[in-house]
Amino acid sequence: MEKQTEIKPTSEFALEVQEGLTAFPKYLSSKYIYDKKGDKLFQTIMNLPEYYLTNCEFNILEKHKAALSDYFKDKKGFDLIELGAGDGKKTKILLKYLTENNIDFKYLPIDISQNILDDLESSLTKEIPKVNVETLQGTYFNVLKDLANYNSRKKIIMVLGSNIGNLPHDKAIDFLMNIQKAMNPGDMLFMGFDQKKNPQTILDAYNDPTGITEAFNKNLLERINNELDANFDIDKFKHWETYNPETGTAKSFLVSLEEQKVNINALNLEINFKQWETIHTEISQKYDDDVVEWLANQAGLKMTEFFCDEDCFYKNYIFEK
């Protein structure tokens, strides 16, 4: 049994850690992997040869940039709003093409991190100085709410990287529904969805031999150590990945290698682990057209087009209201 005296967790992070580690089976939310170190590890993951998602989406944008530009452009110009812009490496393919072809648009990257936005803006000034950019710092939905009536121009809302895959279907529908509410008729959502494929390819993408994905997963425990004064010994946990080809769900776990106790001082909480007990940390959902169409319809959107790479490992879909 966990030992706990009355201490009120003060942040959402503390509250969720307390909830997840006192539940059975134990779980933690992958959204908390992303502090400064987690962001860096994810950038490294995106460049790993096993993490095919990056190249697939890169190739899709490169191959279809002219067609996408035709879909997006509008007589009155348009606003390209990107949720979770990151370093913008993939987006720059589109931005370059649109700028070189004198298409009238404004680029509005949204990110929770002002640092990421500052880096993106200064790299754009160097690489594509003609692009009209306005960065927006905040959570996706606060910013989207503000943008719902931003101006009367066509909005293209873009979410790359299959970020939706980190949400279970009910949360994915909420996410799509929130985007749908910020759209007007004629606006478009352009979103990446990683596809079902050979299960081994998927397992390898989340289990690289260099251990970067393991460090990324374990960053959750490091954050709890640093921010909640805990004493996880991260070497006593093993990164474990599973993929269920029936549901298309890849799941990450941390498995306790031995029976152990961990103290989380900020929560006045002692957590017991049995040997081989798990903490479920992340899902990375893989899709097919039927599931994507079902999610979209549930959220009040219709799928109007998709673009895929050579092997159809990955697809970017266009949705309208």
Q: Which residues bind ligand AVI (CB under 6 A)?
A: 45, 161-163, 165-166, 206, 213, 216, 282, 284
Nearest to 82 by CA among 127, 147, 32: 147
CA separation for the pair 18, 271 (Å, rounded) = 10
Of 74 and 87, which has the nearer Cβ to ligand AVI?
Answer: 87
Of 250 and 271, which has the nearer Cβ to ligand AVI?
Answer: 250
- CB of residue 201 vs ligand AVI: minimum separation in angstroms? 13
- CB of residue 71 vs ligand AVI: minimum separation in angstroms? 24
CA separation for the pair 228, 243 (Å, rounded) = 31
Of 220 and 318, which has the nearer Cβ to ligand AVI?
Answer: 220
Are the C-beta atoms of residues 283 and 250 closer than 8 Å to each other? yes
- CB of residue 251 vs ligand AVI: minimum separation in angstroms? 11
With CB atoms as reference, the residue minimizing the distance to ligand AVI is 284
Are the C-beta atoms of residues 65 and 93 closer than 8 Å to each other? yes
Of 51 and 78, which has the nearer Cβ to ligand AVI?
Answer: 51
- CB of residue 33 vs ligand AVI: minimum separation in angstroms? 8
Residue 249 burial class via C-beta count within 10 angstroms: exposed 0-12, middle 13-18, buried 19 and up: middle
Nearest to 143 by CA among 113, 102, 110, 121: 110
Of 216 and 287, which has the nearer Cβ to ligand AVI?
Answer: 216
Nearest to 52 by CA among 224, 203, 177, 211: 203
Are the C-beta atoms of residues 162 and 51 closer than 8 Å to each other? no
- CB of residue 302 vs ligand AVI: minimum separation in angstroms? 24
Sign of the C-alpha dihedral, residues 77, 83, 86, 90?
negative
Of 29 and 268, which has the nearer Cβ to ligand AVI?
Answer: 29
- CB of residue 234 vs ligand AVI: minimum separation in angstroms? 16
